Amino acid sequence: MKRSRLLTLLVGGVFCLAVMSLYRMLELMQGAEPQPRRDAPDEQDLSRLQQKIDRLERLLSDNNRLVARLRDSLLQHKASWERGGGGANVSSDSTHSQAAPPPGCRLAEEMKDGADGVQLLDVYDLLPFDNPDGGAWKQGFEIGYRGDEWDEQPLELFLVPHSHNDPGWLKTFDGYYQDQTRHILDNMLQKLSQDHRRKMVWAEISYFSKWWNDIDDQKRATVKRLVGAGQLELVTGGWVMADEANSHYFALLDQLMEGHQWLHRHLGVTPSSGWAIDPFGHSPSMTYLLKGAGLQNMVIQRVHYAVKKHFARQQTLEFLWRQTWDSSPRSDITCHMMPFYSYDVPHTCGPNPAVCCQFDFHRLPGRRVFCPWRVPPQPITDQNVQERALLLLDQYRQKSQLFRSPVLLVPLGDDFRFVETSEWDVQFTNYQKLFDYFEQHPELHIKARFGTLSDYFQALHRRLGAAGTSLPTLRGDFFTYADRDDHYWSGFFTSRPFYKRLDRTLEATLRATEILFSLTLAEMRRFGADGRPDARFPARDHFRRLTVGRRNLGLFQHHDAVTGTGRDPVVVDYVSCFQDEVMSAQDALPQKTMLELSDEPRSLIVFNPTEQLQTSVISVTVDSPDAHVVDAETGRPMAAQISAAWVEPSQVSTEMFQVRMSSSMGLLIGSVIGLLIGSVIGLLIHVAVALLRGRTSSSVAPRLSCDQSSSWLHPPGTLHHPSPWRPTKSPLVRVSRGPIFSDITSCFQHFTHTVRLFHLDGHAGKSLEISNMVDIRSEVNRELVMRFVSDVANGNRFYSDLNGFQMQQRRTLLKLPLQANFYPMTSAAFLQDSGSRLTLLSAQSQAVASLRPGELEVVLDRRLQQDDNRGLGQGITDNKLTASLYHLLLEDRRGGAQKQSNVVYAVQSTVEHLSLLAHLTSLSLSHPPITMVAPSDSQLPKLRPFLPLRLSLPCDIHLLNLRTLEDTQVRSTPGDTPLKHLSDVSCWSWTTGRVIDFLQHCPIKRSDEETFNKI
Which residues bind to Zn ion, rule: CB under 5 A? 166, 278
The tally of CA atoms less than 13 A away on the side-chain side of residue 999 is 11
Q: How far is the CB of 244 from Zn ion (least distance, A)?
A: 13
Q: What residue ranges in 666-811 does DSSP mark as E strands?
A: 670-677, 690-691, 698-704, 732-736, 741-747, 751-758, 768-774, 782-789, 797-802, 806-811
Distances (CA, A) of 394 to 384, 528, 874, 935: 16, 70, 40, 75
What backbone torsions phi and psi does residue 889 show, to the nearest 5 degrees?
A: -130, 130
DSSP conformation letters of 565-608: -S-HHHHHHHHHHHHTTT-S-TTSPPPPPEEP--SSPEEEEEE-
CA distance 991 to 875: 39
- For Zn ion, the closer of residues 278 and 503 by Cβ is 278
Q: How far is the CB of 278 from Zn ion (least distance, A)?
A: 3
Helix axes of 217-228 and 182-194: crossing angle, nearest 10 degrees: 60
Q: How far is the CB of 559 from Zn ion (least distance, A)?
A: 6
- For Zn ion, the closer of residues 166 and 966 by Cβ is 166
Give me the sign of the Cα torsion angle 76, 78, 81, 86.
Answer: negative
Distances (CA, A) of 34 to 53, 57, 371, 824: 14, 19, 85, 58
- For Zn ion, the closer of residues 278 and 360 by Cβ is 278
Q: How far is the CB of 495 from Zn ion (least distance, A)?
A: 15
Residue 278 falls in the annotated catalytic set = yes
Closest residue to Zn ion, judged by C-beta, is 278
- For Zn ion, the closer of residues 414 and 514 by Cβ is 414
- For Zn ion, the closer of residues 710 and 910 by Cβ is 710
- For Zn ion, the closer of residues 278 and 861 by Cβ is 278
Q: What is the dihedral of CA 847, 852, 854, 858, to 10 degrees?
A: -20
- For Zn ion, the closer of residues 33 and 179 by Cβ is 179
CA distance 838 to 843: 17
Q: How far is the CB of 715 from Zn ion (least distance, A)?
A: 23
Q: How far is the CB of 427 from Zn ion (least distance, A)?
A: 20
Distances (CA, A) of 965 to 263, 517, 589: 13, 12, 33
The tally of CA atoms less than 13 A away on the side-chain side of residue 962 is 22
Beta bridge partners of 946: 670
CA distance 682 to 102: 61
Q: What is the dihedral of CA 499, 500, 506, 511, to 10 degrees?
A: 170
Q: How far is the CB of 262 from Zn ion (least distance, A)?
A: 20
| Contact yes or no for 783/879 (Cβ under 8 A) | no
Sheet holding 690-691, edge to edge: 690-691, 732-736, 741-747, 751-758, 768-774, 882-892, 836-842, 828-832, 797-802, 806-811
CA distance 359 to 342: 15
| Contact yes or no for 831/850 (Cβ under 8 A) | yes
CA distance 444 to 221: 40
**Residues 6 or more apart from 623 whose CB is under 8 A from it?**
594, 595, 596, 597, 655, 656, 657
Q: How far is the CB of 250 from Zn ion (least distance, A)?
A: 22
Q: Is 892 exposed, middle or buried (0-12, 13-18, 19+ CB in 10 A)?
A: exposed
Q: How many of the other CB atoms lie within 10 Å of CB of 912?
A: 24
CA distance 1008 to 1011: 5
Q: How far is the CB of 342 from Zn ion (least distance, A)?
A: 11
Q: How far is the CB of 258 from Zn ion (least distance, A)?
A: 19
Q: How far is the CB of 503 from Zn ion (least distance, A)?
A: 18
Strand-strand pairing, 602-607 and 670-677: antiparallel
- For Zn ion, the closer of residues 739 and 871 by Cβ is 871
- For Zn ion, the closer of residues 173 and 886 by Cβ is 173
Annotated catalytic residue within 72, 113, 254, 278: 278
- For Zn ion, the closer of residues 113 and 166 by Cβ is 166
- For Zn ion, the closer of residues 82 and 414 by Cβ is 414
Q: What is the dihedral of CA 866, 868, 872, 878, to 10 degrees?
A: -40
Give me the sign of the Cα torsion angle 460, 465, 467, 472.
Answer: positive
What backbone torsions phi and psi does residue 53 show, to the nearest 5 degrees?
A: -60, -40
Give the active site residues: 278
